[in-house]
Every structure is written in structure tokens, then in C-alpha cells.
Amino acid sequence: MGWNDQIIKEFRENNGRVGGMFEGAPLVVITTVGVRTGKPHTTPVVYYADGERYLVFGSNNGRPTHPDWYHNILGIGQVTMEIGSEEGHVRPLSARAVVLEGEERDRYWELQCARDPAFRAYEEKSARVIPVVALYPLDLSKDPARNRMIGEQLIVHHQELRAELARVRAAIDAVRAGGTAASTTAEEQGAAPELAEQLRKHCLTFCWDMQMHHTREQGSFTAFERQYPHLAPVLRRLRAEHVVVERALAAFEELLGRGMSGTPAEVGQVQAELDRVVADLEEHFAYEEERLIPALNGVVG
Ligand SMILES: [Fe+2]
Ligand SMILES: [Fe+2]
């Protein structure tokens, strides 16, 4: 486990508190979408609480380049933040990221440096204008039109995931057909390496997009719990189903991480792991849409 992963683990286990160099610092863990890879990117950052929003700083510990999470939010300005709560455990929040500009950026940067001089040192060391980003947690009480849009987006994301799944299935068929055509001893030789690599890529894309979809949902469920208390049992069930899928996704990603040569045995294993991920997924999607969308549309269910 890397240094970052250890901090994140400690953070999650201790309601957002960690020791070492972050001892006593207000920390938030953010997950963004990798701008080039599409892979979820999770990292701890120091925040400054400013009313309802949280300000985070792209100091990158004084390195000469902006941190990856900053580039990611320039691509997709939607993040999931995890933060300690009064309930005694870390809660995920879905948030919109806005980069502060001009005088506002400078003013909050100065405030942060005054509060924590390490940030001044980072600025001097990096010779960059360090970005200041405001995170606005999702609040479903504010804008009915936005809530309706979130419902529409949910359906779009589910459709995209279904389409990706269809591509993965097609890639599995292609590898199988390639393997049979290439050789009578397909068991040893397997499919063409490029087909196997294509399959691996499709699988990884599906895997990361599913992980990202769930990470985002976990964050928005917190806003649902606040706004629609009658949905508590529904959200408990959905969260529990996410845990099952997340475990299967982690195993799937690990398998894909070993690389692929395309032997029939290996393709069979990929298919078995995929089946584990998608078991009951259609039912989960349908239940989620059926129960959450009426609430977002203002229909009390
Ligand atoms: Fe879900
Ligand atoms: Fe979903």
C-alpha cells in the first residue's frame, strides 16, 4: 500500500483524522476522474471551510507542477469529497468544483497562508500561482430544475454503462472467435494479442466507469438522505448493493492488472469475474431509477 493509500485508510477509519505530517490539519479526501485515463483518482487535501463551501489548494507540496486532481477537475468539475462528520464516521459528498479567479483567489490564498505558513513555503518553492478551488456540496433543497437534471443524468449514465457492457461482451466474442480461427491448439495459443489487449481495455474502461459512477452516487446519496428522509431504507439497500459490486470490481481490476494473453482459460476467467460484477446490476439500475427519480421530480413516493 502506497503512502497516499495509507493516509486515506487512516482517514476513513478515524472520522477524517490522521497523524504524521497531517496531524491536526483539516483534511478532505477527494475523488476526481483521471482526465486522460478515465480512472478514479483519490487523494487527501487540506481544506479551508468557508461557509457552505470548502476551499482546496493545488500546492502539490511545493512541486513545480499542478497536482493531477487539479487537471482532472478542469476536465470534469464534479468531485466526490469525503469528510469527517458529527455522526462519527466519514461521509461522502457529491460536490461541484469551481476554480477561483483574480482577487477572490488571492484573498483566500492569503488567508490560507496566514493560517498555515507551510502554504507560503510551498508557493515559494514551486514558483507557481497555486490554484484555489471551491467545492460546493450538492444540496437538493435548492433548485428543482437541477434536481430534475440529476434524474435525467442518472438514466444517461446507466445507458452509457449498459452500452459499455455490450462492448465488453462483443470484445469477449471477438477474442473467442480469434482464438478458434487462429489455431487448432487454441488452448495454448489463444487469440491474437491485440484482441486480448482490446478486451482488457474495454474491461478496464467499464470497471473504472462503474467505480466512478458508484463513487458519485455514494456522494449524492448523502444529499438524498438529508432531503428525502423517507428514502432512508431505499438508500440503505442501494448502498449495500454498491458494496457488493465494489468488491467484485476490485477483484476484476486486479485480474485485469495482470495483463492478458487471450487464452480461452483466461477469457473464461474474465467472463466469470465480469458476470460477478454485473449480476443483479440491471435490477439495481431499475430500482435506483424507480425510487430516486420521482423524488428528484418532486413526486412524494
Ligand atoms: Fe447505484
Ligand atoms: Fe446508478
Distance of CA 270 from the midpoint of ligand 2 (Å): 23
Q: What percent of the chain has pLDDT over 70?
A: 95
Distance CA 96, CA 138 (A): 7
Distance of CA 282 from the midpoint of ligand 2 (Å): 10
Distance of CA 161 from the midpoint of ligand 2 (Å): 9
Q: For the segment 96-146, what is each residue's pLDDT rounded down to a tens digit?
A: 999 999 999 999 999 999 999 999 999 999 989 999 999 999 999 999 999
Q: Is residue 301 part of a domain?
A: no
Average pLDDT over the chain, rounded to an integer: 92
Q: Is residue 98 part of a domain?
A: yes
Would the pTM count as exceeding 0.85?
A: yes
Distance of CA 83 from the midpoint of ligand 1 (Å): 21
Considering every ligand atom, which ligand is closest to the CA of 218?
A: 1
Considering every ligand atom, which ligand is closest to the CA of 154?
A: 2
Q: Are 246 and 214 in contact (CB under 8 A)?
A: yes
Domain count, the chain: 2
110 or 3, which is more confident: 110
- Does 22 lie in the same domain as 161? no
Distance CA 58, CA 67 (A): 6
Single residue among 88, 112, 137 that ends a domain in this structure: 137
Q: Is residue 262 part of a domain?
A: yes
Distance of CA 226 from the midpoint of ligand 2 (Å): 19
Instruction: Give the model's pLDDT for residue 205.
Output: 95
Query: Which residue range is the domain that position 18 belongs to?
Result: 3-137
Q: For the segment 177-202, what is each residue's pLDDT rounded down to a tens digit?
A: 876 544 555 444 556 788 888 999 99
Distance of CA 49 from the midpoint of ligand 2 (Å): 30
Distance CA 292, CA 301 (A): 9
263 or 210, which is more confident: 210
Q: Are 190 and 263 in contact (CB under 8 A)?
A: yes
Distance of CA 287 from the midpoint of ligand 2 (Å): 9
Residue 187, CA distances (Å) to 85, 144, 250, 255 in order: 54, 57, 27, 19
Q: Are 210 and 161 in contact (CB under 8 A)?
A: yes
What CATH code is carried by the domain that includes residue 104?
A: 2.30.110.10
